[in-house]
Amino acid sequence: MPARAYLDHAASSPIRPQVAEQMAQDLAEGLGGWANPSSQHASGQRVAGLLAQARAKIAQALGVNAHEVILTSGGTEASALVIAGRARAVPGGRLVVSPIEHPAVLESARTAAEQLGADVSVLEVDGAGRVVLGSVAAALAPSGQEPAAPVSLVSVMAANNETGVVQDMAAVVGEVRRATGVERPGRPGYVPVHSDVVAALGKTAVDFHGWGLDAMSLSGHKLGAPVGVGALVVRRDLELRPVTGGGGQERGIRSGTQDVVGARALALAVELAVGEREAEAARLGALRDRLLRAVAALDGVHATLPAGVAHLPSTAHLWFEDAQAEALLMALDMAGIDASAGSACHAGVAQPSHVMLAMGFEEGPARSTLRCSLGRETSPDDVERLLSALPAALEGARRAWKATHKTAGEHF
């Protein structure tokens, strides 16, 4: 049986061979559990030293300070920690989020509203999913609210995990600073900004200090590390109230015995991903462009992002007229092609994309989407295999769509 064409790297990427080799060696040497990095004996301190080295390597690759790196189980936990941590640090405060955020941010904000009494304000995005800068000032100082609740955090993802649209994060942060009139942390009225960079890291430039961020979340398994490792980069003076208690590890924000093997795997994956970013972006961008040019010739197939919009080189997001997404994915799956309809965190849930709805799409197109995300292992043959299988798969998806609609000529 021929190898499958894996076009779902935005959901998860295979572990890099270098990372797997390092992990195997670490586990063989006993780093998987025989010494606790919090222990004071020699073995524990040796492991603590390896943990510090991993943290420093992550920091160097990201251009941040080692004390700003908090190790987590992944991007979801990192985002949840900063959302809940700020809601707890500013009781009755307001969280400002974009409508196209990952559920890690949106659901955490909703939970903070329900359980911690936080207010939530939602920014506007344009038809490409870019934050409308004018909505930032409106969200920070909403009319008719006297007195306005203090803003505890603004959260905008650097690149969307579904469509691949890239935000101008420096402009977003600049608008926050302009709207509040406070630029320096620690001053009254200062509003911290968080960005989920899970989809962006290794695909486009990420600049924590250059953008002026206060916190950012990242995940290892999108970069070639194993599932279960990630990090929250957060300024040392940003107050986050921990969600749980424990031994005070990771600056008290995430207590618990650290996974040294996982931290070392994350460090290596981040280092490799950042180092190869420019070359991979050029290679994957060419494959993405080939895919989009070819599908443009198919009737009723549309690229979700308009031409000229900044986007990840690795993501091609499409929507289809009169086609059932489930049938399309099933046909591609049977043809040996792995792709998705959108965020893997909503896999199996029959609902329209909240990202596309926020962009102004009707429910029909928002239900009939395909995300093809490319990665290190993606070859030109993988793209050609998709293009070869797509017409027949689309024909079947349209038959399935017609069967579920009462009026044969019904259209979005």
The C-alpha angle 46, 47, 49, rounded to 5 degrees, equals 65
| Tokens linked to 291 | 């895919």
| Tokens linked to 78 | 């990192």
Tell me which residue of 403, 384, 385, 388 sits closest to 327, measured CA to CA.
Answer: 403
| Tokens linked to 390 | 């797509």
Cα–chain-centroid distance for residue 359?
A: 18
Point out the residues that are catalytic. 345
Phi, psi of 66 (to 5 degrees): -60, -35
Supply the DSSP string of 104-131, one letter for each residue: HHHHHHHHHHHHH--EEEE--B-TTS-B
CA distance 102 to 81: 14
Measured over the CA atoms of residue 225, residue 227, residue 229 and residue 234, the dihedral's sign is positive
- Residue 298: exposed, middle, or buried by beta-carbon count in 10 A (0-12, 13-18, 19+)? middle
